[in-house]
């Protein structure tokens, strides 16, 4: 059985979009959410602290070899690439930056495409470079759902525009619409589906 999960990537202007999206989420989440945001090298955990102030959903920074659990939000730490591995485990890498970024959106999205396949929902937000465009296309090619923030509503439109140009954007939404989409997706997920996923990991 394929895992179900949400992965969100953003850069310049992404924090503002995340603020809107997270305000729309319910208090009880049925899926895991992975968030990779381009961070200052000396973020020191401030990003997950900020997100935790927006929602009652538990938020934590990813740890190496940690297994994802439904109902939690996980953030990629500064200075590490974050990857998803088979069995819903997290792997952290100290490889060189990609697209001048570490953490890289492309690296996480590509690993999610391989692990979650058609069970992935990938969201690309505002940003000033092209990181995430290739990874989003990888998710789409594996049958996952791909959503992009409308460049006209993004503070930095380059990143979502690059994803659209490469053909990776399945749908284009405002930040408000993305929040509503994820809220409705969460409501549609069967509790039995989540239980079966957990049982398959034992």
What does residue 195 show for φ and ψ, rounded to 5 degrees? -60, -40
Residue 83 bridge partners (DSSP): 91
Pairing of strands 171-173, 33-37: unpaired
The answer to whether the CB of 148 falls within 8 A of the CB of 139 is: no
Q: In angstroms, what CA-CA distances link 95 with 79, 102, 143, 183, 189?
A: 9, 8, 28, 35, 36
- Catalytic residue ranges: 11, 38, 131
Cα–chain center distance at 117: 14
Provide the CA 151 distance to its chain's centre, in angstroms.
18
What Rg do the C-alpha atoms of the chain give, in angstroms? 15
- Answer for the pair 24, 187: CB distance below 8 angstroms, yes or no: no
């Amino acid at each position: 059985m394929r895992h179900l999960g949400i992965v969100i990537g953003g850069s310049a202007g992404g924090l503002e979009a995340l603020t809107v999206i997270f305000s729309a989420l319910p208090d009880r989440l049925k899926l895991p959410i992975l968030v990779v945001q381009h961070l200052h090298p000396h973020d020191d955990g401030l990003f997950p602290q900020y997100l935790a102030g927006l929602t009652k959903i538990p938020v934590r920074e990813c740890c190496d070899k940690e297994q994802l659990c439904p109902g939690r939000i996980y953030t990629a730490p500064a200075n590490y690439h974050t990857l998803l591995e088979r069995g819903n485990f997290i792997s952290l890498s100290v490889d060189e930056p990609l697209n001048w970024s570490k953490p890289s959106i492309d690296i996480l999205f590509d690993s999610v495409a391989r692990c979650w396949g058609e069970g992935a929902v990938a969201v690309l937000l505002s940003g000033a470079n092209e990181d995430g465009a290739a990874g989003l296309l990888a998710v789409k090619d594996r049958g996952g759902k791909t959503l992009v923030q409308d460049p006209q509503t993004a503070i930095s439109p380059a990143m979502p525009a690059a994803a659209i140009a490469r053909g990776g954007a399945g749908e284009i939404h405002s930040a408000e619409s993305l929040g509503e989409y994820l809220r409705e997706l969460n409501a549609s997920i069967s509790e039995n589906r989540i239980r079966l996923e957990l049982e398959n990991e034992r």
